[in-house]
Amino acid sequence: MTKRSLRFLANDRVVETDRWEGSPALDFIRKDLALTGTKEGCREGDCGACAVLLGERKREGGAAYRAVPSCVLPLAALENKHLVTIEGLAAGADGGLTPVMRAFLEENASQCGFCSPGFIIVLTAWLIEGSHLDEEGALEAVSGNLCRCTGYGSIRRAAARLIKDFRDLPPEPEARLDALAAAQVVPASLPAFAQGGLLEKTAPRPLFTPVGFAVGGGSDLYVRNPDPIPRSGFAYLPADPSLKAITRRGATLEVGAAATVREFFASEDVRSAVPGIERFEGKFASILVRNVATLGGNAVNASPVADIVSMLIALGAIVRIERPEQSGTAREIPLERLYLGYKKLDLAAGELVTAFLLQAHGRPLFNFEKASKRSTLDIAAVNTAIMIELDENRITRGRISAGGVAATPLLLEGASELITGREVTGSLAVEAARAAASEVSPISDVRGSAAYRIEALKRLVLAHFATLFPGDAGIQDAVTKEALR
């Protein structure tokens, strides 16, 4: 196994290490760097106690800082970046307390305190990002953080203080970062790094080829395997900019497999190809996980309830598969055909998913529905997406997908065929819902029984129509009747 040494900025000092790049960043932070303010609460991306800030220089200058869950992050993800931990924030403020910490103190928002560093990190990231400095934005910012003590009341009040104090931050990222450093919300190392200081630029390293195993965000891999054993062929895909690009060529939208879920929903090209798709970002995991999870990982993890896959199937996405060491080997198949059986893929060892291709003509109607126990940060029991192209009131092309109702994510062929070519009416909604329910045979597991999944799917398909045609009395009536039958 070749060892490559890794360099990054940890708070205000440069760290160089030859530890295996697949090691979980959390262990490195807590053990090697002895920064124990970053906590281990679950090691599965679900609690936020391990959150850290990660800054990455942008090609156009400046740096983007995001809060990420360090327990599912490979060490490789730190390369050439700026890691900021709770200790780093504290060191930059007089008396060791940043304004975010002080707001928590004043509102008594830290009880046992185990969750506190994570909350401070994500709310600091929220101020740095600065685009939703309101109550809803704060709620979204803490969507990946659990607190078992406070009931969140005091945390909400602390956030309200921050909204009041920082509402008027400058909108330009660089000026905002300077303002936050001046207010001691972040230490001076952030603007310094953003301006190209503290860590000299090094060229990104080429991907390991042939790829032994690939890592996207790690949010699936490290959950399944929290103590990975070093092995060769480790490829951290997001390090390759070409795999992250989202570009539009004519009517085709190409989304790089290593683009994160966050980047996918933020992309103007994606938003214009699928109007309204951004409404569903909050249905996927938490902001922490979305900051790392990639589209390729969502597809290759092959979970029957993968949400992005469900959306992409309804949108008719084509997946591109390549061997990085052999050019000209690309093949393209419809996404639903990637799945052969439970966690079985049409993907050979060494092959990578490199991109998803979407047709970006017209303005399709799109909706996504998800049934889960908790409405946020929860894996679906059932999900479904619908894409409809309309000519007047007639559906010229309709696709409905479903997850959690079979061993693989599905295109509901029966229901999709049924709606294509039909007029949109209340009875069509009911027929489609029943057709969807009758073409699946789910199993029972921890997230729900088979009977529940079938009923849920039926109702979520009804919900597609009720949501897409809110003003159509015929549809609303038919849906209501069917729901209370």
Partner 1 sequence: MKGAHDAALNLRGMTAYIDDLPEPANALQATVKLSESARGRITRIDALAALALDPSVRVITAADVPGENQLGFTVADEPLLPEHEWEYWGQPLVLCLAQTRALARRAAELVRVEGEPLEPVFDPREAAARGEFILPPRTQSSGDVEKAVARASYVAEGRADSGGQEHVYLETQGAFAELVDGTRVRIVSSTQGATVVQRAAARVLGLPMNAVEVEARRLGGAFGGKEDQATSWACLAALGAFVTGRPVKLYLDRKTDMRATGKRHPYSSDFRISADKDGRILSFEADYYQNSGSSCDLSPGILSRTLFHACGAYRVPNVRITGYMCKTNLPSFTAFRGFGAPQAFFVIEAAIDALAAKMGLQAEEIKARNLVEEGDVTHYGMPLVGVRAREAWDRLTAQADWRRLRADIDAFNAAHPLEKLGAALIPNCFGISFTKLPMNQGGALVHVYQDGSVLVSTGAVEMGQQVARKIARVASSALGVPLDTVRVERTSTLTVANTVPTAASTGSDINGAAALAACEEIRGRIIAKATELTGLAAAELSFREGRLLCAGSDTGLSFRDLVAKCHEARIDLSAHGFYATPGLFYDAQAERGSPFAYHVYGAALVVARLDVLRGSYAIEKAVAVHDIARSLDPVVDRGQVEGAFAQGLGWATLEELVFSNEGRLLSDTLSTYKLPDAHFLSAGLDLDFLPESENPRAVLGSKAVGEPPLNYGIAGYFAVLDAIRAARPDARIPYDLPMTPEKALSALSGGLVGTRKRGNA
Interaction partner, residue 293 (ligand FAD, ligand FES, partner 1, none; CB < 5-8 Å by kind): ligand FAD
Residue 147 has a CB neighbour count (10 Å cut-off) of 22
Q: Using CB under 8 A, which residues numbered 46 to 65 contact partner 1?
A: 46-47, 49
112 touches partner 1 (CB under 8 A) = yes
Q: Using CB under 6 A, which residues numbered 148 to 177 contact ligand FES?
A: 148-150
Residue with Cβ nearer partner 1 (99 or 316): 99
Determine the Cα–Cα distance for residues 14 and 198; give it in Å rounded to an integer: 8
Interaction partner, residue 325 (partner 1, ligand FAD, ligand FES, none; CB < 5-8 Å by kind): none
| Residue in 456, 468, 475, 478 binding partner 1, rule: CB under 8 A | 456
304 touches ligand FES (CB under 6 A) = no
DSSP structure class, residue 204: P
DSSP per-residue codes, 80-112: TSEEE-HHHHHHTSGGG--HHHHHHHHTT--SS
- Between helix 99-106 and helix 116-129 the angle, nearest 10°, is 130
C-beta separation of 199 from 82 below 8 A:
yes
Determine the Cα–Cα distance for residues 206 and 212; give it in Å rounded to an integer: 14
43 touches ligand FES (CB under 6 A) = yes
CA nearest to 85, candidates 136, 18, 15: 15
Interaction partner, residue 485 (ligand FES, ligand FAD, partner 1, none; CB < 5-8 Å by kind): partner 1
Interaction partner, residue 71 (ligand FAD, ligand FES, partner 1, none; CB < 5-8 Å by kind): ligand FES
Determine the Cα–Cα distance for residues 421 and 394; give it in Å rounded to an integer: 6
Q: Using CB under 6 A, which residues numbered 129 to 148 contact ligand FES?
A: 147-148
C-beta separation of 300 from 312 below 8 A:
no
User: What is the per-residue binding string for partner 1 in 381-400, x denoting contact by CB under 8 A?
Assistant: x-------------------
Left if phi > 0, otherwise alpha if psi is -120 to 50, otherwise beta: which for 456?
Answer: alpha
Residue with Cβ nearer ligand FES (277 or 292): 292
What is the smallest separation between the CB atom of 474 and partner 1, expressed in angstroms?
14
Residue with Cβ nearer ligand FAD (109 or 287): 287
Determine the Cα–Cα distance for residues 192 and 12; give it in Å rounded to an integer: 10
What is the smallest separation between the CB atom of 294 and ligand FAD, expressed in angstroms?
3
444 touches partner 1 (CB under 8 A) = yes
